[in-house]
Amino acid sequence: MPAFQRISDTEAVFRIDRMIYSDAVISKALYWLTREFTIDRRMESEACEEVSFRISDGGTPPDWDAVQQRLSQSLADFKLREIIITETDAIRNILYIKAFSPNLSPNADQEKMDEA
């Protein structure tokens, strides 16, 4: 779970481990919170990113524990998606090549058997 520091009723800071979560994962997780918050990102070090949340204009103070839970859930979700995409990349490419190759019809195997 990201480290959390409540600054005030309307602002909090989360520290996210960049050795666990990539920039893409963090960006996707934060995107879903941009309607409610103004979000600023800053690299503290190569291994740690500080993310500041401020309530958007006119917003009411949130339950920061619930925000932390949502952020943690989103980070885990997008991290798992990233792992799945990485692990299935080669097989997806093979399927795309086979599906869209002009030299291969969908029934090429059956056609070869019919010719024999």
pLDDT per residue over 57-72, tens digit each?
Answer: 777 889 999 999 999 9
Reported as a pLDDT band with limits 50, 70 and 90, residue 101 is: confident
Reported as a pLDDT band with limits 50, 70 and 90, residue 33 is: very high
Reported as a pLDDT band with limits 50, 70 and 90, residue 56 is: confident
Q: What is the CATH number of the domain that holds 75?
A: 3.30.70.60
Domain hosting residue 55, numbered range: 3-115
Average pLDDT over residues 85-95: 90
Overall number of domains in the chain: 1
Listed in sequence order, the residues at least 6 apart from 61 whose beta carbon sits closer than 8 Å to its beta carbon are 9, 10, 55
